[in-house]
């Protein structure tokens, strides 16, 4: 049985925040005080009973923007992570099973992509492609699949030499059977462990792209875009600039806690 007391504090904070963000994203139209793009007050109003988190640079309710921002951010991050794991795992397992020139060429291509910083590749690609949700998801998913490929291939290479895999080959089972019936079930544990980390990286990557102007486009909101829109208010400690940035920083606590073994203390 799961002992909550053994969960590192950063991981526990991340789990609670994730649950809150998911609930807010699902029920955004019902719990949001105002519409996402509705102007309801003056520019950068302070926190008040009418506007719990104040207003942004155009007079829109910040709490409503944060709720709708969670919806868009999590939607893109979930789909990008699902794409990266589907693509990376299948290619990694295939490289381990087929080996030879297929493994060599694919691994060298992955090494080439990983040698270039992901953010730079993303900026170059998005600067020449139309910026929309589909493009964002595809670019994020494909770039992140290189990390999943390395893990999947390393795990599959070890599993591929096991006796039960050799027995399946002697029975005449095809490559698809070996990949999906022999390797995949035995590789789920490390892949699931990596899933949470890759999801957090997707959120941070999307926020970075939006802050640089190549992510979610106005009037839609995501946390990185909200920081960009209100960045001039940071020097004045305006809540509209600080609160989205603080929420993004809290995701680092989740990443720190998720990457730490359960028997160690908090970082």
For the CA atoms of 22, 24, 25, 30, the dihedral, rounded to the nearest 10 degrees, stands at 140
Number of domains observed in the structure of the chain: 1
Specify the CATH number for the domain of residue 220: 1.10.3720.10
150 inside domain? yes
188 inside domain? yes
Residues 88-119: b if buried by 16+ CB within 10 A, e if exposed: bbbbbbbbbbeeeeebeebbeebeeeeeeebe
Higher pLDDT, 225 or 250: 225
pLDDT confidence of residue 205:
93
Q: Which residues contact 143 (CB under 8 A, 6 or more apart)?
A: 84, 113, 118, 121, 122
Kindly indicate the confidence band of residue 11, based on its pLDDT and cuts at 50, 70 and 90. Answer: low
Quick one: tokens of 171?
């029975």
pTM: 0.84
Q: Which residue has the tokens 């770039």?
A: 143
The Cα 45–Cα 57 span in angstroms is 9
160 inside domain? yes
160-210 per-position pLDDT tens digit: 888 888 888 888 888 898 999 899 989 988 898 888 888 888 988 999 999
The Cα 191–Cα 202 span in angstroms is 16
2 inside domain? no
13 inside domain? no
* 79 close to 137: Cβ distance less than 8 angstroms: yes
Query: Looking only at Cα atoms, what is the longest distance across the chain?
Result: 74
pLDDT at 261 over 50: no
116-139 per-position pLDDT tens digit: 899 999 999 999 988 889 999 999
- Residue 109 lies in domain: 22-31+55-246
Q: What end-to-end distance do the CA atoms of the chain give, in Å?
A: 24
- CA 35 from centroid of its chain's CA atoms: 26
The Cα 40–Cα 59 span in angstroms is 6
5 inside domain? no
- Which of 121, 266, 150, 145 is CA-nearest to residue 202? 145
pLDDT confidence of residue 200:
84
Average pLDDT over every residue of 59-84: 91
260 inside domain? no
263 inside domain? no
């Amino acid at each position: 049985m799961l002992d909550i007391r053994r969960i590192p504090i950063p991981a526990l904070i991340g789990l609670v925040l994730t649950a809150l963000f998911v609930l807010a994203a699902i029920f955004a139209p019902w719990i949001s005080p105002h519409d996402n793009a509705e102007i309801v007050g003056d520019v950068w109003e302070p926190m008040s009973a009418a506007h719990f988190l104040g207003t942004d640079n155009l007079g829109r309710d910040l709490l409503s923007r944060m709720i709708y921002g969670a919806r868009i951010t999590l939607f893109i991050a979930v789909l990008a992570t699902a794409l990266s794991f589907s693509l990376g795992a299948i290619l990694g397992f295939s490289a381990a099973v087929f080996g030879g020139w297929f493994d060599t060429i694919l691994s060298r291509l992955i090494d080439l992509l990983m040698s270039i910083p992901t953010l730079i590749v993303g900026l170059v690609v998005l600067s020449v492609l139309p910026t929309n949700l589909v493009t964002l998801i595809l670019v994020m998913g494909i770039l992140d699949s290189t990390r999943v490929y390395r893990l999947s291939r390393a795990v599959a290479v070890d599993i591929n030499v096991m006796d039960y895999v050799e027995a399946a080959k002697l029975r005449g089972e095809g490559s698809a059977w070996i990949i999906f019936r022999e390797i995949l079930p035995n590789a789920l544990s490390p892949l699931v462990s990596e899933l949470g980390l890759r999801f957090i990286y997707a959120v941070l990557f999307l926020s970075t792209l939006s802050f640089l102007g190549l992510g979610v486009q106005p009037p839609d909101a995501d946390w990185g875009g909200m920081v960009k829109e209100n960045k001039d208010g940071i020097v004045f400690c305006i809540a509209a600039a600080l609160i989205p940035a603080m929420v993004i920083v809290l995701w680092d606590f989740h990443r720190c806690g998720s990457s730490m073994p359960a028997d160690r203390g908090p970082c």
